[in-house]
């Protein structure tokens, strides 16, 4: 029997650069109130959201991804031609095939990398980061571009009082490359499919095509059920990620949870007993919930504003539709 040559990868992987793109249109709560019976005070108290960004017709999933990717590649100090893999996490690219990752790879000038999309909702960035780490360590790629991108305004029911104010658009990207020391910890990830109905699309695409429903599909959720799950269960997952990395909350510099809701973020901080010195991402206030894009967008803003710095140790956790989750500890680029 022939022996297969072992893979020649890197001992470890790291995030080398980060970039983000936020659509130019800023939408305050007052715009949302034109279609739902609520108030600015109620929206802020329930979610912490004051504004969000909505994409124009020109700000497509591909366009926003390309802008974010260019920044991440430049930040990593490499060229597009060096990219060996492109992973895009999104639920709002409306073409079933081909994967938008292939278009992005071509338009950034990446040559002929492996390119594919994944659908893991708000945990999508964590899933993509884990896959990229595996590619680098295994040796099938040296530099992998991981993108989280959403145009959730296309899937928002502006008459749904429970969700109309939640969602925003944007793209975040990181470059994952080789490292001589561990800078992306073990991932704690999983799913709870018995709760899949708590966050979902209102109707399947084919129901709309058949004309059995008149309204375009939108996102809907059971808010209280999701809140309880996120607050009580995801703090446990976050702690497991700390344990897997061999550190405690006192060793953290930064906490970057999925930007779903300010009350969820604050509750997780309290449950995890994070020390006061830990910087907590609260990008949701001005960006809303951008699903797979929320963690890299928040990471980019913290670094750009000086609230976090290169070399900081950060805990990142994403959670959402599925219900799925992914948490890991990383060193910031």
Q: For residue 31, give both structure tokens.
A: 């715009």
**258 counts as catalytic:** yes
Secondary structure letter of residue 188 according to DSSP: E
Burial 210-222 (b: 16+ CB within 10 A, else e): eeeeeeebbbbbe
Phi, psi of 295 (to 5 degrees): -70, -50
Q: Judge whether 93 counts as a catalytic residue.
A: no
- What's the maximum distance between 2 C-alpha atoms anywhere in the chain? 71
Between CA 115 and CA 102 the distance in angstroms is 5
Parallel, antiparallel, or unpaired for β 254-257 and 313-320? Answer: parallel
- Contact of 169 with 55, CB cutoff 8 Å: yes
Query: How far is CA 193 from each of CA 101, 163, 178, 264, rounded to the nearest angstrom?
Result: 27, 21, 34, 21
The CA distance from 16 to 69, in Å, is 12
The answer to whether 197 is a known catalytic residue is: no
Q: Which of 29, 53, 93, 122 is catalytic?
A: 122
The Cα 115–Cα 211 span in angstroms is: 34
Catalytic annotation, pick one of 53, 93, 258, 261: 258
Residues annotated as catalytic (active site), given as ranges:
122, 258, 289
């Amino acid at each position: 029997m022939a022996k297969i040559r072992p893979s020649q990868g890197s001992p470890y992987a790291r995030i080398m650069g980060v970039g983000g793109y936020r659509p130019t249109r800023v939408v305050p709560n007052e715009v949302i109130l034109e279609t739902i019976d609520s108030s600015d005070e109620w929206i802020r108290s329930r979610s912490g959201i004051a504004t969000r960004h909505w994409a124009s017709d020109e700000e497509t999933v591909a366009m926003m991804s390309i802008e974010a990717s260019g920044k991440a590649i430049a930040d990593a100090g490499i060229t597009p031609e060096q990219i060996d893999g492109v992973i895009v996490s999104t639920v709002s690219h409306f073409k079933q095939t081909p994967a938008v990752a292939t278009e992005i790879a071509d338009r950034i000038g990446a040559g002929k990398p492996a390119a594919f999309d994944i659908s893991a909702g708000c945990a999508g960035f964590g899933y993509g980061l884990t896959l990229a780490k595996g590619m680098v360590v295994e040796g099938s790629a040296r530099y992998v571009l991981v993108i989280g991108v959403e145009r959730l305004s296309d899937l928002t029911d502006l008459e749904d009082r429970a969700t109309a104010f939640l969602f925003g658009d944007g793209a975040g990207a990181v470059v994952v490359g080789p490292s001589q020391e561990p800078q992306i910890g073990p991932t704690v990830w999983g799913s709870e499919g018995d709760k899949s109905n708590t966050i979902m699309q209102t109707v399947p695409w084919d129901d709309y095509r058949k004309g059995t429903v008149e309204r375009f599909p939108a996102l809907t959720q059971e808010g209280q059920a999701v809140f309880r799950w996120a607050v009580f269960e995801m703090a446990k997952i976050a702690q497991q990620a700390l344990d897997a990395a061999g550190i405690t909350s006192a060793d953290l510099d930064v906490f970057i949870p999925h930007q779903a809701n300010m009350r969820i973020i604050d509750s997780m901080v309290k449950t995890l007993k994070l020390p006061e010195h830990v910087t907590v991402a609260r990008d949701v206030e001005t960006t809303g919930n951008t699903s797979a894009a929320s963690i890299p967008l928040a990471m980019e803003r913290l670094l750009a504003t000086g609230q976090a710095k290169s070399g900081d140790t950060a805990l990142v956790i994403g959670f959402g539709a599925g219900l799925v989750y992914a948490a890991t500890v990383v060193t910031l680029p």
